[in-house]
Every structure is written in structure tokens, then in C-alpha cells.
Amino acid sequence: MVVKIHKSSCSMKGVLDYNIRKTEGRVAHVIGTANIGSDDEEAIREVFSRYERLNIRSRNVSFHMSINPSEGEAMDDGTAFSLVTDIMAGLGYSGQPLAVFRHEDTGRVHYHCISIRTRPDGRKIRDTYERRKCQEILAGLSIKYGFTVGKGQGMKQGHTAPGKPAARFNRALGDVTRQMTDIFTECLEYRFTTEAQFIVLLNMHGISAVSRKSSDGRPVFVLQGLDRKGTPCTGTIRTDALDSGLYDKFAIRMARCRMRTENLRAVKGRVSGIITWGAGKARDLTHLERMLARQGIILHVSRTSAGEIFGTTFIDLLSRSVFKGSELSIPGISSFRNLDKAVAQSNIKRVHIKRKRPSAGYGQAGQSKEKDIDTEEIEWMLRHGMTRN
């Protein structure tokens, strides 16, 4: 388990906005509060705002802690809330307002706890060596709750790990309708301009989708869960059965994305540069997919029944943008329909660079060793501030 106390702020607004925004996106919810009197989000805001006004001179007044259980450490919401209250009591926050949120936006359940360092009398709770003290408290609580300190994932809570989609459908986790609703909502955070692009996004998260008309003529998506091999593993569920307004949210988001084109030039330039580098280095299309995935770009290839490419889609996880191949300009690739052939027949120039090696470990003194390096690779690395291993 990893427990992390995050950087504090002079205001509660940031930490409140972060957690409440997650609840509005249906990827988090409040599991419990203390000294607030209600689980209602507006009540939580009001109480923390009232405490904040008691001392406007203090700087680090916000308290934000995340708890990320390791795989195999079963923890229900009741246990999590009990653990949080024990930690907070040990840190000297007994009697302070407290709200605990359960997050499910990373594909793993984790918890966020927020409180405030301003006491009811306006004085500030001392936070000197708070992180060290927290680790000592955890060591004492590990036997009571049956967890191992420091064995969880050290990723930043509430954010997707670099180069990976946020979550994937998993039939073994149960609650199929909740998973599909959460994933559908997560995909609405991306920039996409066509229905086909959104369907590719859902596929990336383990859900197949087909556009249909309901009995009253309204458009809906028919969804189905997929296993790791892409085989359907659930029955079909229509979006109007999950949420009557889900398809409307998709349509509104797509319309807004079509109108917003600002800042895309820089994103397209970065994505095109990475694809150019990968296409020149990859042995084949499968190798290119792996190389791009390591750079946070997912390549989806659409093929005919005869196996011919008729379309490509690139998903940039960093900017959360989806692009058709035709939207990107890649030197040497006139059409993404022949992407596999272009990769296989790449004619990128090569140069020979002689590098002097130290005599120790390389045979005779002054011995040089030649190494082939693509000119495009050099340019790409310089552009991105990278070095070759």
C-alpha cells in the first residue's frame, strides 16, 4: 500500500475542485465525512470555506492524502474510512472536517482524503515532518489492517500512467453497466470529431460499439464488453439503458470538438514527428504499434475483409486527442492506406558516425566503432531533448 500526502496550498479550492469534478464525471464518490454533518458536496465546500476564513494568513492550509492499496490487499469503503480516521487522529487532525472520496478513474480503486489545517479557533495545525510521522503511523497500523507499507503502485493518483489508457473493461470485476457507463464517460474527455473515432476509443477501453436507432427513432450505441483478445464476453447493452442522456452527451462533445481547433497545430506536429521517427525505425506494422505505444500514441488500423488497410486512427494519450491518418502530414507516406508497405520499404537515409571509445574495455587504445544512426532519429531526438542509449 502507498499512502501519499500531497503538496499543500493556501486555499482549499484546488483540492475540492479536483475531487468534486471526479464525482461529477462519475469516476469518484464520497464514502464518508467527519465533522461536516453531510456527504453533500455543497455542504463539504461550505464547511471548508468557513474554516478557511478563520485564518487567511496561513499558507499551507489544505490537507490532501491519497491511499492506493496494492493488488491483493482487499479493502472495502468502510475499512478505508476507518484507516483514514486512524491516520488523521495520529497526525493530530481529530475534530477537523474530513471528507474521503473513492476514485476509480485509473482502473484501480484508490482513495483521496481531504481536510484543513486551520483549527476552529483559527490556529494552524503544525505540519512539520508530517510525511515522516505518517509513515510511522502506517507501520503501527499495518498489523491492525493487514497491509504492507510501500508495496503499492507509485503512480500519481488520479492520473493515467504515461502511455497507457485510463481503464479497460474487465468482466471479472462485475457490475458491467457501471463499468460501461464509467468508460463511456471517460472517453468523452478525449477530443474526437467523428463517430468512428469515438468507437475506436471505446474499443481501446475494451468495449465494442455499433450505432443504431431506438424504437422511437433516436440514435443510440449498442455496447458489448470485450476480453483481452477482443472477443465479446457480455451481452449487448444500449446506451439509453445505461443513461438516457448518454448519447446526447456524445453528440454535444463531438460538435464542440469540431468547432475547437486551437492549439492543434503543435499537437499534430509532435504526433507527426513521433510517427515519422517510428515509421523509419520499425521493422513492420506490429513493431511500429509497439514503438508508438511506448511514446503514448495508440495506432488503430482498420482493414477490409481481405486484409487491406482502409483507414488509420492515432490516439495521443498525452493531449487526449484522436486523429485520422489523413489529418497528419508524414514525410514519405503519401497515404496511410499503404502504411504497412511504407514501413516495410522505408528508404530513410543512413549515415555512419565514428565514435572514439575509451581504450579500457574496448581493446586497443584509440579503436573506433561505427554505428548506423538514422538522420531522422537524430533530428527527432534533438527536437525532443532526448539522447540515444
| pLDDT tens digits, 256-284 | 998 876 668 888 888 888 888 888 888 88
Q: Closest by alpha carbon to 163, among 193, 109, 204?
A: 204
Q: Which residues lie below 8 Å from residue 337, measured CB to CB, with a gap of 6+?
A: 308, 309, 310, 311, 312
- Binned at pLDDT 50, 70 and 90, residue 5 comes out as very high
Q: Among the residues of 25-61, which ranges form H helices?
A: 41-52
Does the pLDDT at position 124 exceed 50? yes
217 and 108 in one domain?
Answer: no
272 and 319 in one domain?
Answer: yes
User: 213, 220 in Cβ contact below 8 A?
Assistant: yes
**Number of C-alpha atoms within 13 angstroms, CB side, residue 85?**
13
Q: 259, 275, 306 — which closes off a domain?
A: 259
Q: Closest by alpha carbon to 322, among 306, 346, 300?
A: 300
The answer to whether position 181 is within a domain reads: yes
- Binned at pLDDT 50, 70 and 90, residue 341 comes out as low
Q: How many domains does the chain have?
A: 4
The answer to whether position 284 is within a domain reads: yes
SS3 152: coil
The answer to whether position 130 is within a domain reads: yes
331 and 231 in one domain?
Answer: no
Say which amino acid occupies 232: P
48 and 118 in one domain?
Answer: yes
User: 43, 16 in Cβ contact below 8 A?
Assistant: no
| CATH number for position 81 | 3.30.930.30
356 and 339 in one domain?
Answer: no
The answer to whether position 156 is within a domain reads: no
104 and 30 in one domain?
Answer: yes
pLDDT by residue (tens digit) across 137-172? 888 787 777 777 664 333 333 334 434 445 688 888
237-238/297-303 β-pairing: unpaired
pLDDT by residue (tens digit) across 31-55? 999 999 999 999 999 999 999 999 8
220 and 116 in one domain?
Answer: no
140 and 10 in one domain?
Answer: yes
The answer to whether position 165 is within a domain reads: no
Q: Closest by alpha carbon to 372, among 346, 388, 348, 351?
A: 351
Question: What is the extent of the structural domain holding 242?
Answer: 171-259
The answer to whether position 152 is within a domain reads: no
User: 83, 142 in Cβ contact below 8 A?
Assistant: no
130 and 59 in one domain?
Answer: yes
User: 46, 110 in Cβ contact below 8 A?
Assistant: no
Does the pLDDT at position 330 exceed 90? no
346 vs 321, higher pLDDT = 321
The set of cell numbers assigned to 336 is 496511410
Does the pLDDT at position 210 exceed 50? yes
pLDDT by residue (tens digit) across 56-90? 888 889 999 999 887 767 788 999 999 999 999 99
- Binned at pLDDT 50, 70 and 90, residue 335 comes out as low
228 and 184 in one domain?
Answer: yes
Question: In whole angstroms, what is the distance from residue 345 CA to residue 138 CA?
Answer: 58
The answer to whether position 75 is within a domain reads: yes
113 and 9 in one domain?
Answer: yes
**E-assigned strand segments in the chain:** 2-5, 28-34, 62-68, 98-103, 110-116, 207-213, 219-225, 237-238, 297-303, 309-316, 321-324, 350-356, 368-374
The answer to whether position 328 is within a domain reads: yes
Residue-averaged pLDDT of the chain: 80
140 and 60 in one domain?
Answer: yes
